[in-house]
């Protein structure tokens, strides 16, 4: 029987608190929150539930052990003694080593990864006379080593690619938002599913897709393969039970308010429509093609949610001034009674809206320091 173990969830910086609430609601025992990371304890059922239902984490790392590590020798021996490799990693399984952090003598992550790999394959050769292959793109087993303050933490990564890739978005616009960030921002906005939701600069439709799939209880991990399915303590019975529970949360016939996106770029709007169709949400989400000024909002006020271009990755700052001015005028003319939530990475541009922000939350979006800003429109 597998008892509670230590896990770390990697989260977008700025979404740690809301991410911790999500994890707690799914049954974890919270331990600590730090920049981009939430530490907690979970049992197998809870661990599987998180993979099916949590929307905010990039990845989960299950801790195996910690050991003092001040250089190559202590790393090599620490890794060999760290773990019951004989049970967990036989040579038929491929693996990959990921590294984060440094110590005084281990400052090159590539060298550190090589040392970990050598320690594992040397041990495998001594036990079985053969070794695992290395696979960077689709390993059976993914080791993660974190170095900090002459201490090493060895963990198992439960997914070889980031969990923000839900798989419903084969077609991407320019500068699309990551699905987990969109989900976290919607959670902060406290969108009430009875309220109309409009993204007037919707790109590939990420906000709308995340909002609707969240409202309908669609578990983001339900169609995914996870690396824990290769772990020797994988419990198929508990996993199938958690899948059944996750499916029971689906509210397929839920009546939703109007969920609409505007997008002026024809090709990007096509991407949004393809993604929505792929996710099976084309009856719930409508995409209108054109400049936002061409469209009226639904008569019942609701929430406007968007990330307009802000010049760092998309658009020239000077051209964007007029976009923000026009957006501000559009909102003041058409959106009385609505609440606007806007992700912005350029405070100079947001000032061109000509509106007073009532709440703001710092969020890192792909390394850009952004603000998730709320405006009440009168
Ligand atoms: C940063 S992207 C939004 C990304 C989107 N959240 C996603 O995840 O794909 C901004 C989008 O606004 C669109 N856009 C720019 N000006 C617009 C306008 N006046 N009316 C409608 N869409 C516009 C751009 O074509 C671009 O797709």
Residue range 8-18, pLDDT digits in tens: 999 999 999 99
The confidence score (pLDDT) of residue 170 equals 62
Residue with the nearest Cα to atom 15 of ligand 1? 201
Pocket probe mutation, ligand 1, options 202, 208, 213, 293, max atoms within 8 Å of Cβ: 202
The confidence score (pLDDT) of residue 316 equals 66
Residue 6 has pLDDT above 90, yes or no: yes
304 lines ligand 1 (CB under 6 A): no
Residue 37 has pLDDT above 90, yes or no: yes
Cα(343) to ligand 1 centroid in Å equals 12
Average pLDDT for residues 330-341, to the nearest whole number? 98
**Average predicted confidence (pLDDT) for the chain:** 94
CATH assignment of 179-218+252-376? 3.40.50.150
- For tokens 């992550």, name the residue: 109
Cα(262) to ligand 1 centroid in Å equals 8
**Three-class secondary structure assignment of the chain:** CCCCEEEEEECCCCCHHHHHHHHHHCCCEEEEEECCEEEEEECHHHHHHHHHHCCCCCEEEEEEEEEECCCHHHHHHHHHHHCCHHHHCCCCCCEEEEEEECCCCCCCHHHHHHHHHHHHHHHHHHHHCCCCCECCCCCCEEEEEEEECCEEEEEEECCCCCCCCCCCCCCCCCCCCCHHHHHHHHHHHCCCCCCCEEECCCCCCHHHHHHHHHHCCCCCCCCCCCHHHHCCCCCHHHHHHHHHHHHHCCCCCCCCCCEEEEECCHHHHHHHHHHHHHCCCCCCEEEEECCHHHCCCCCCCCEEEECCCCCCCCCCHHHHHHHHHHHHHHHHHHCCCCEEEEEECCHHHHHHHCCCCCEEEEEEECCEEEEEEEEECC
Residue 174 has pLDDT above 80, yes or no: no
Residue 112 has pLDDT above 80, yes or no: yes
Cα(22) to ligand 1 centroid in Å equals 29
Residue 94 has pLDDT above 80, yes or no: yes
The confidence score (pLDDT) of residue 40 equals 98
Average pLDDT for residues 50-79, to the nearest whole number? 97
In the chain, % of residues over pLDDT 70: 96
The confidence score (pLDDT) of residue 5 equals 97
Residue with the nearest Cα to atom 25 of ligand 1? 265
Average pLDDT for residues 27-39, to the nearest whole number? 97
Residues of the chain with CATH 3.40.50.150: 179-218+252-376
Residue 317 has pLDDT above 80, yes or no: no
221 lines ligand 1 (CB under 6 A): no
Residue 314 has pLDDT above 60, yes or no: no
173 lines ligand 1 (CB under 6 A): yes
The confidence score (pLDDT) of residue 169 equals 64
Residue 315 has pLDDT above 80, yes or no: no
Average pLDDT for residues 268-279, to the nearest whole number? 94
CA dist 271 and 349 (Å) reads 27
- For residue 314, the ligand 1 atom closest to its alpha carbon is 1
Name the architecture of domain 5-157.
Answer: 2-Layer Sandwich (3.30)
203 lines ligand 1 (CB under 6 A): yes
Residue 175 has pLDDT above 60, yes or no: yes
289 lines ligand 1 (CB under 6 A): no
Query: Which residues are paired to 30 by β-bridges?
Result: 40
The confidence score (pLDDT) of residue 165 equals 87
Residue with the nearest Cα to atom 2 of ligand 1? 203
CA dist 20 and 11 (Å) reads 9
Query: Which residues are paired to 86 by β-bridges?
Result: none
Is residue 267 very low, low, confident or very high in pLDDT (cuts 50, 70, 90)?
A: very high
Residue with the nearest Cα to atom 19 of ligand 1? 291
Give CA separation, 322 vs 24, 115, 223, 311, 378, in Å: 43, 54, 43, 13, 22
The confidence score (pLDDT) of residue 166 equals 78
């Amino acid at each position: 029987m597998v008892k509670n173990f230590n896990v770390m969830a990697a989260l977008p910086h700025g979404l740690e608190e809301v991410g911790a609430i999500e994890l707690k609601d799914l049954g974890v025992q919270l331990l600590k929150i730090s920049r981009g990371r939430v530490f907690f304890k979970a049992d197998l059922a809870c661990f599987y539930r998180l993979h099916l239902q949590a929307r905010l984490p990039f990845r989960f790392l299950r801790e195996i052990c910690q050991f003092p590590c001040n250089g190559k020798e202590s790393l090599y021996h620490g890794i060999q003694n760290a773990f019951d490799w004989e049970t967990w990693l036989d040579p038929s399984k491929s693996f990959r080593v990921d590294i984060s952090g440094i110590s005084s003598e281990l400052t090159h992550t590539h060298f550190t990864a090589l040392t970990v790999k050598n320690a594992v394959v040397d041990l495998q050769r001594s036990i079985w006379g053969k070794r695992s292959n290395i696979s960077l793109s689709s390993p059976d087993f993914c080791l993660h080593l974190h170095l900090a303050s002459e201490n090493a933490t060895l963990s198992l990564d439960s997914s070889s690619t980031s969990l923000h890739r839900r798989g419903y978005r084969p077609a991407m616009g320019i500068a699309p938002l990551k699905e987990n960030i969109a989900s976290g921002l919607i959670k902060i906005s406290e969108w009430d599913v009875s309220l109309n939701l409009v993204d007037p600069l919707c790109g590939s439709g990420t906000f709308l897709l995340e909002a609707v799939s969240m409202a309908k209880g669609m578990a983001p991990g339900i169609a995914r393969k996870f690396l824990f399915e290769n772990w020797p303590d994988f419990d198929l019975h508990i996993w199938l039970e958690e899948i059944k529970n996750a499916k029971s949360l689906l509210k397929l016939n839920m009546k939703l308010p109007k969920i609409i996106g505007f997008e002026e770029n024809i090709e990007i709007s096509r991407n949004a429509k393809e993604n929505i169709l792929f996710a099976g949400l084309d009856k719930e989400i409508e995409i209108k093609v054109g400049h936002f000024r061409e469209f009226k909002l639904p008569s019942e006020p609701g929430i406007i949610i968007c990330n307009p271009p802000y010049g760092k990755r998309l658009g020239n700052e000077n051209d964007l001034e007029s976009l923000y001015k026009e957006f501000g005028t559009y909102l003041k003319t058409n959106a009385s009674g609505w609440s606007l939530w806007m992700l912005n990475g350029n405070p100079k541009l947001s000032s061109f809206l000509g509106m007073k922000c009532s709440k703001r939350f710092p969020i890192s979006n792909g390394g850009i320091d952004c603000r998730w800003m709320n405006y009440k429109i009168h």
